[in-house]
Structure 1
């Protein structure tokens, strides 16, 4: 009985797996998942999901611009993702006169599609296990630095062996905290063009108020097209390129969803920390996340003052603001959920039981000091975590916190070079300068920088702050406004014109005395600094955390484990599933929302809840076409119990036949602890119903030609 209790308690560290929990490798689904999936409603073979030699579902799934997921939905390279995933590109292509972000955009034909500067999709080709090969190069007597070097050297060899002369991008990644290693082969396509996007009032309906909330009524989608050369290979942008013919694309279902329908999601989840020790959870809840939330909110408030006054400023900062706002609410939700569910206490109990197992004679030499070392690490880094998050908040929201340092290093090299060297450097420098200053707005940047310096200088009290910031704060009673104004007046980094004047007459002494360069250098130096004590703490923690995961798996050999998310392709499966009844939702069951509920939220001219006139007119006429549910309502969003996280945005929700039924775009705030621990009762994925997507394209936008290129299943 004691062994059984120990097993159950220790399993809390990673949660014993239910069918709807887990982010699974595709190469193992036949062995680990396929039987469960069939019982839940899957009608595909494992080979139809993942195959190296034949086309399969995995060939339709792409990583979108490094941070989201998207899916191929036509034979002509049409790709679907979230509106918020395409937000950067849409904002970049917009101007006050042609504001695609505000008004929407629908290309009438291929020639009308718009090319952003930098946008790519990444196709997954294959993966393989190289754990034995890499671990054979390691031994327990290595320092962490020696271990890391050996891993990097062997990984570089593996990547070179599999990239076929540069045709593919190959990445070796660690899993289970460095107890296993796999390599992944990808192919990148860089000619990706905007095809269509609903207006922001649809694509971002509900704004920050509804973000992470249910019930939801958001048309969070946008559409792009992938182009290739005449032979179907990746190519830089060219008018001669042609739409890509993907190996596989998803048919689109109009059948709708019912509660308990099978649903699987493939995508690129960014990061989970399901193995995180209790000390890490406690540190985040009490030190790191509160600082993140406070710094983010301050930056947002300062940005918004200026964004509300100018359409151009709003466009320039729209993407940055949205990213900060998203994680501001996420981190507050994490604090609330982890506190409410007492997650740290549950993990601490599991760790205490693990520690008993670890200190048995047979295990003590290898695992005996693991928990002590981990707890020591967190106790000594709590105040640093708070400091680091205030500093990171400054760097994340202020363009002038980091830019003068990064540009200044280039200018210093330019100033020290001879005439030939300068001529060689000049094109790249000018390109960097053009990009750096293209969207900066000085009044906003001054306000954000001064406010964030004040917050950082006064709230990071338990850990030594950047020395120049401390000096300025002491001399100015921690009011940084006058200093920032004076720095901008004197700095060559204050404007593009001043930087270009420096290029004409470079002087190293002027650069090294520049107030914004000195401030930025001070902040970045502090951000990167690591004392010898910290380096030792990090190394000891890294080894102990790896041993903790190794020991947990050794102690629970019959449990099916999945590795933490790390932006590699995963599959999660579950069902369409309700939350408890909610009077805010007009739907008969609380697993879907309707356009009736969307219109009920409508507030004319409200930044978050306005709706286009045409949408309201179509609703009044009940002009839903073939996209209405058989019950008569127009569906908008629906819920599944899939296990996802950031990076899954834009992932396809696929039924048991391999057909597209929706588009994942969010999670519910009640289960915001999901990156750390899976809650089988509360965890939900919020999805756009594909019928609403098609209705917007066809009926609202009159772009039926886009729908016509898809394979529609009725």
Structure 2
């Protein structure tokens, strides 16, 4: 979820950013945020939150596997994140015989912890401002392509200078649509092992029905451990590696939460579009997102038919299905919220006000054409946006829409190489083929590809589709089933065995005439295609959007602005805060949920609302141990008004002392417009209460040794 109100009123004045709005850089909190945070309940200094020279909170926050957030919660590198963030690794480690995803898992000791094939965490070391240096290489006469080239060259130099010969990963990122630049220094650890997970019936309780909804009763957590070499340095997996001794780890509070308590979240929010113009919102609501929703739902439906019939297939496709389902509901929620709140109309009014300012004599030369250019861009790309989302929906749900084209380039190089060259390439090709085909279920792949081709070809009517797809459709009345089945039968990509046979006797001619290779290449060529007209539209839009953001900030110099999220570490602060009373929630106040409400939702053998027998027995006995609230109930989830979005999944929720009180995992669907605009009344973050996490580990799972590893504050 996300938020912004940064546009202007008729007088071109911007309202101050609310305390609970904003995703802030840690290096600026002393100047921009610390005083507000203290008034709300923060008891830490800025040095205790972000320090380069001493350990601080930032040293306990990691980016988890590139797409989520996690936190270190013990001196031995114990990592806490969401169940849905660890879902892919848990599914990979599971088998029908040892189904950790379904039944849960807790390692009895370090030796019992499980290593997925590929899992990493990224520690944030420091950041710094590179704006003056990069802007100093640019001038107003540059084309957008020249500007981008200069930025890339200077960014590469900055990244090399700060990497310390490869010790660190350095990333220069653009902010405020290219008006500012900062670089971030990271250190990656690739030996990360599964410590424990609750069963799916706890970790994913409520399923797609409850996703993005409140009240919520989900134990969305899982635990891992970071390993390093004997000196604490990153190292690839080895039995000799030891648990990492982190610079800082979070203490865990059992004090519980009350309404209006201070709440702070640090994490890696993925993407917001708070500066998005009205035309972009309108395009998403009417063209892009409906196509996204439709193609996602189609792919899910086709996958689920087969997943319901076979437990192994379900495990192999569980993560992919969950990812598609999450954004399917998200995008539909955004359509509904943005439409209901008339967000595009509000932005259009503000842009009209900006346009008046921009066309004053002193501003006209630089800003006068900005709004006209932006509006023209969206008018000319609406149908393309719809087309692109149907196409991307196919690429997202169908492995064979993209894989043959991508793999084919390597196969052609292999076929054209001599014997020694092929020998050098063979190992990597074999590993990639095993990765792609090892968990693939061909009946799913055939059904999804045929259905998505039909949807793409028949719904992308306002923009020219990929030529081979169009030709096949016309020849088959847009029924692609027979074509796809025949293509699989006659393609070297049809099975792993056929690919291996081709590697033993490679032929470029066979490859280039392969039906799945031709189809996939057609789709990927269309995906990457950009006409000269489109390139000019993109360049003009990029410049105008940059000037729009610059102009808004010039016109309102006293406003505290924060940049859009882009997977860099941010801090957001707010309070524990209720929504209006909801009869579906048994809690006395609608900022928390209880195990009583969880059990009330229980449906035996239901895919989404089943609960383990042991949990029900412990509930009946009221065996909550030290984790019950002082009022007697067992807490499950709670609400705050923090400003977060995708990528913040797994982020720690901290009290004023920097103690862990919860784990962020979702937002509420009523505020789904938060990617674009902050709603101070509706915006909420849904969190797992840390007391429920500890109860599941200790009382339900009998893994008290994991709790004993933490520093518990009572």
TM bracket (short chain): over 0.9
RMSD of Structure 2 on Structure 1 (CA): 1.0
Preserved contact between residue 575 and residue 641 of structure 1 (Cα < 8 Å): yes
Distance, in Å, in 2 between the alignment partners of 1:242 and 1:15 is 51
Q: How does 1:468-617 map to 2 (within 5 A)?
A: 468-617=468-617
Q: After superposition, what is the alpha-carbon deviation per residue over 1:405-430, rounded to whole angstroms, capped at 9, x for unaligned? A: 11111111111111111111111111
Preserved contact between residue 15 and residue 678 of structure 1 (Cα < 8 Å): no
> Residue 35 of structure 2 corresponds to which residue in structure 1?
35
Preserved contact between residue 634 and residue 692 of structure 1 (Cα < 8 Å): yes
Distance, in Å, in 1 between the alignment partners of 2:370 and 2:539 is 13
> Residue 100 of structure 2 corresponds to which residue in structure 1?
100
Preserved contact between residue 190 and residue 237 of structure 1 (Cα < 8 Å): yes
Q: How does 1:157-168 map to 2 (within 5 A)?
A: 157-168=157-168
> Residue 340 of structure 2 corresponds to which residue in structure 1?
340
Q: After superposition, what is the alpha-carbon deviation per residue over 1:507-536, rounded to whole angstroms, capped at 9, x for unaligned? A: 111111110000000000000000000000
| Stretch deviating more after TM superposition (633-642 or 422-431) | 422-431
Distance, in Å, in 1 between the alignment partners of 2:149 and 2:483 is 44
> Residue 123 of structure 2 corresponds to which residue in structure 1?
123
**How far did 1:8 drift?**
3.0
> Residue 231 of structure 1 corresponds to which residue in structure 2?
231
Q: After superposition, what is the alpha-carbon deviation per residue over 1:677-713, rounded to whole angstroms, capped at 9, x for unaligned? A: 0000000000000000000000000000000000000
The 3 A distance-change label for structure 1 pair 10 and 51 is farther
Preserved contact between residue 10 and residue 350 of structure 1 (Cα < 8 Å): no
Q: How does 1:26-175 map to 2 (within 5 A)?
A: 26-175=26-175
> Residue 268 of structure 1 corresponds to which residue in structure 2?
268
> Residue 378 of structure 1 corresponds to which residue in structure 2?
378
Preserved contact between residue 7 and residue 555 of structure 1 (Cα < 8 Å): no
Distance, in Å, in 2 between the alignment partners of 1:185 and 1:509 is 47
**How far did 1:211 drift?**
0.1
> Residue 176 of structure 2 corresponds to which residue in structure 1?
176
**How far did 1:99 drift?**
0.5
Distance, in Å, in 1 between the alignment partners of 2:438 and 2:228 is 29
Distance, in Å, in 1 between the alignment partners of 2:361 and 2:154 is 35
Distance, in Å, in 1 between the alignment partners of 2:164 and 2:410 is 34
> Residue 629 of structure 1 corresponds to which residue in structure 2?
629
Preserved contact between residue 652 and residue 660 of structure 2 (Cα < 8 Å): yes
> Residue 357 of structure 1 corresponds to which residue in structure 2?
357
Displacement over 2 Å in runs of 4+: 5-12
**How far did 1:6 drift?**
9.8
Can you give the 5+ residue segments of structure 2 that lack an aligned partner in the other structure? 1-5
Preserved contact between residue 258 and residue 576 of structure 1 (Cα < 8 Å): yes
> Residue 660 of structure 2 corresponds to which residue in structure 1?
660
Distance, in Å, in 2 between the alignment partners of 1:582 and 1:713 is 32
**How far did 1:11 drift?**
6.7
> Residue 323 of structure 1 corresponds to which residue in structure 2?
323
Instruction: Report the TM-score, using the length of structure 1 for normalisation.
Output: 0.99
2:196 counterpart SS class: strand
> Residue 687 of structure 2 corresponds to which residue in structure 1?
687
> Residue 712 of structure 2 corresponds to which residue in structure 1?
712
**How far did 1:166 drift?**
0.5
Preserved contact between residue 24 and residue 571 of structure 1 (Cα < 8 Å): yes
The 3 A distance-change label for structure 1 pair 15 and 295 is farther
The 3 A distance-change label for structure 1 pair 235 and 379 is same
> Residue 210 of structure 1 corresponds to which residue in structure 2?
210
> Residue 191 of structure 2 corresponds to which residue in structure 1?
191
Preserved contact between residue 12 and residue 555 of structure 2 (Cα < 8 Å): no
| Stretch deviating more after TM superposition (468-477 or 404-413) | 404-413
**How far did 1:10 drift?**
7.5
Instruction: Report the TM-score, using the length of structure 2 for normalisation.
Output: 0.99
Q: After superposition, what is the alpha-carbon deviation per residue over 1:423-475, rounded to whole angstroms, capped at 9, x for unaligned? A: 11111111111111011111111100000000001000000000000000000
Distance, in Å, in 2 between the alignment partners of 1:413 and 1:578 is 60
2:664 counterpart SS class: strand
The 3 A distance-change label for structure 1 pair 467 and 212 is same
> Residue 8 of structure 1 corresponds to which residue in structure 2?
9
Preserved contact between residue 10 and residue 552 of structure 1 (Cα < 8 Å): no
Distance, in Å, in 2 between the alignment partners of 1:11 and 1:345 is 17
**How far did 1:16 drift?**
4.0
> Residue 408 of structure 1 corresponds to which residue in structure 2?
408
Distance, in Å, in 2 between the alignment partners of 1:189 and 1:577 is 36
**How far did 1:270 drift?**
0.2
Preserved contact between residue 270 and residue 647 of structure 2 (Cα < 8 Å): yes
**How far did 1:176 drift?**
0.2
Count of residues in Structure 1 that have an aligned counterpart in Structure 2: 709
Distance, in Å, in 1 between the alignment partners of 2:395 and 2:11 is 39
Distance, in Å, in 1 between the alignment partners of 2:610 and 2:572 is 34
Preserved contact between residue 7 and residue 552 of structure 2 (Cα < 8 Å): no
> Residue 200 of structure 1 corresponds to which residue in structure 2?
200
Distance, in Å, in 2 between the alignment partners of 1:548 and 1:382 is 21
Establish whether residue 620 from structure 1 lines up as the match of residue 620 from structure 2.
yes
Can you give the 5+ residue segments of structure 1 that lack an aligned partner in the other structure? none
Distance, in Å, in 1 between the alignment partners of 2:658 and 2:344 is 39
Preserved contact between residue 599 and residue 616 of structure 2 (Cα < 8 Å): yes
Distance, in Å, in 2 between the alignment partners of 1:400 and 1:306 is 17
2:9 counterpart SS class: helix
Distance, in Å, in 1 between the alignment partners of 2:8 and 2:534 is 34
1:494 counterpart SS class: coil
**How far did 1:195 drift?**
0.1
